[in-house]
Amino acid sequence: MLTLFLLLMQRVGLIIILAFLLVNVSYFRQLVKADDTWTAKGMLILIFAVFAIISNLTGVEITSHNTLVSTTWLTGLPATDSIANTRTLAITVSGLVGGPLVGTVVGLIAGVHRVIQGNGSDLFYIFSSIIVGFLSGMIGKRYLNESRYPSMTTSALIGLMMESVQMLFIFIFSASGFSLVKLIFFPMMILNSAGTAIFMSVISAYIRQEEQLRAVQTHDVLELADRTLPFFSSGLTEANAQQVASIIRKYTNFDAIGITDTTDVLAHVGPGSDHHIPEKEIKTDLSKRVIATGQMRIAHSKAEIGCPHPGCPLAAAVVIPLVVQNHVVGTLKMYFTNPKDLTPVEEQLATGLASIFSSQLALGAAEEQSKLVKDAEIKSLQAQVNPHFFFNAINTISALMRTDADKARTLLLQLSTYFRTNLQGVRQTEIPLRQEREHVDAYLSLEQTRFPDKYDITFDTPSDDEVLIPPFTIQVLVENAIRHAFDDRRYGNRVWVKVEAQRYATEISVSDNGFGIDQDVLPQLGHQVVTSTNGSGTALENLNARLVGLYGPNSQLHFKTSSTGTTVSLTIPNKQEAIHESLNR
């Protein structure tokens, strides 16, 4: 009996080693978690059927005279001989992990193989194996419904119970029932129940460890998201980036954290800060490739990072693009000084953080857009009730009522249209070109009535007037030209508005034949308030910020000016271009 105990201990040890190898495969852990799908059930049946067959093949042969025959691989045996093996262990675990269907099918396969192995004798092994698989599966189902596995002690008791079922069948149906059970009872009962407990504890421990790791990671990511939200949601600036980099380094295991925009380093905290300096141009080739491709890059050596500084201590990195509305606006760089510290866990953490930070930046951009639109609404309403604008319009209409009542009525309707389109526009981020044209026409009607023949406005627009553009886009540019382009010139003032709908974008330009823009003021227009006797440029700054926020830097205002006139142009990508750019990424 002792010899059999030792031999079976070796077999159980083999199964446990295979169990350790199995749970280290992430695919198996995914199968265990998705055991309610047919694909997962099929794969679990296949895996545990292999385990059960291995248990049969590695069994210890027992002759009709109760003599032990130990071979490496037991492919067949005389009909009068028996096998002491770990088959019940494999069947029991399959039921506990996969439920009654998996356990029953694995039991059927294991039982059929055992009968074939014994040259067609002892058919009762098929039925006993099926019953063991079904019973263990029903017990396992109860635990699976509660999203847990039985404890080590409970697993041992279940293994003991299933082995008892097997012993009962052997005792009743085997030709050498009593003598065989007497020999194998204690070794198989003890070792198979212990093996079941160990096998289940290995699976439970790995699954639990993975869940705990995910819980810790989730907690860390949420903590970081909470602490960085006030900074990233207000924009990707040097001050905000410095705060965020310090927070990330504090709550993660990375040695250094860097944040950039598309051209310069915004922040670098940790080793390498002596040459990765804020406000300086990006040095590493890795970061430049990420910005160019929009794809995450991982480096496991200094050479892959590509820092030109000879003493750079950074030896491994994960660099992820920060993306807002399909545009790369910067990078998040996480470094280690030892390449061995960079594991898949850190890679996943970095990817998750970059996704959250991109969302925070997008949220900040959306809030900024809302603020800009609200500012546009306020400025528009202010313009409507501005004494100069409002009273000039009313006085013009009042004067016309004495001489041309029909025209006065038309102008009053135009003034109403101007008010209405202003109010409608501020509630939307995009409006049809038709609606924007109505807004501009209403404004021009009032201005041209006050100053007959002073302005000549020409429109060149597409037949499809449902093209979407941001509200106030053309109106701001036309009003800017009328107010500032011509000084006191009374005649010959021309403005051309051109809208060209292309395949992937809409091109808009507003040109005039005025006196041009001062070269000292030109670089500031659209980017900041300017100091000038002709105006502050606030409307252009607001419009430019809205365009960049909605569509990215490629849509910003472009100014071309000379002493004979000015052209302001912009590009608005349509939805097809957004899809096209997304596919190219």
* Mean of all residue pLDDT scores within the chain: 83
CA-to-CA separations, 133 to 28, 39, 92, 257, in angstroms, rounded = 20, 19, 6, 53
Asked which of 14-18, 126-130, 159-163 is least confident by mean pLDDT, the reply is 14-18
Give CA torsion, residues 539, 476, 512, 466, to 10 deg: 150
pLDDT tens sequence across 79-130: 778 888 889 999 999 999 999 999 999 999 999 999 888 877 778 999 999 9
Q: Distance between CA 149 and CA 135 in Å, rounded?
A: 15
User: Count of alpha carbons within 13 Å of 300, Cβ hemisphere only?
Assistant: 6
Q: How confident is the model at residue 527 (pLDDT cuts 50, 70, 90)?
A: confident
- On the question of pLDDT at 384 being above 60, the answer is no
pLDDT digits (tens, 9 = 90+) for 26-46: 888 888 877 678 888 999 999
d(CA 222, CA 216): 10
List the domains of the chain with CATH numbers. 2-213 (1.10.1760), 236-361 (3.30.450.40), 386-584 (3.30.565.10)
CA 184 to each of CA 2, 83, 88, 93: distance values in angstroms, whole numbers, following the listed order: 10, 9, 13, 21
Q: Which of 496, 488, 476, 482 is nearest to 537 (CA)?
A: 476
Binned at pLDDT 50, 70 and 90, residue 423 comes out as low
Edge-to-edge strands of the sheet including 558-562? 455-460, 493-501, 505-512, 565-573, 558-562
What pLDDT was estimated at residue 585?
38
Tokens standing for residue 549? 């926020």
Which residue's structure tokens are 């695919």? 27
Q: In the prediction, which pLDDT does 169 show? A: 92
C-alpha angle 520-522-524 in degrees, rounded to nearest 5: 95
Is residue 535 predicted with pLDDT exceeding 70? Answer: no
Indicate the range of 301-305, 354-358, 538-542 predicted with least confidence: 354-358
The whole-number pLDDT of residue 464 equals 81
Question: If you average pLDDT over residues 143-150, what whole number do you get?
Answer: 84
Sheet holding 256-260, edge to edge: 265-269, 256-260, 327-336, 316-324, 297-299
The residue type at 217: Q
Split at pLDDT 50, 70, 90, the class of 63 is confident
Return the exposure string of 207-225: e unless at least 16 CB atoms fall within 10 Å of the residue's CB, then b: beeeeeeeeeeeebbeebb
Res 385 pLDDT > 50: no
* pLDDT of the residue at 387: 53
Residue range 198-247, pLDDT digits in tens: 999 988 888 887 777 766 666 777 777 777 777 766 777 888 889 888 98
Nearest of 167, 224, 160, 177 to residue 64 by alpha carbon: 177
Supply the pTM of this predicted model.
0.48
Return d(Cα 470, Cα 549) in angstroms, integer: 11
pLDDT at 375: 63
Least confident of 229-243, 319-333, 373-387, 551-565: 373-387
Please check the confidence at residue 252 and state whether its pLDDT lies above 90: no
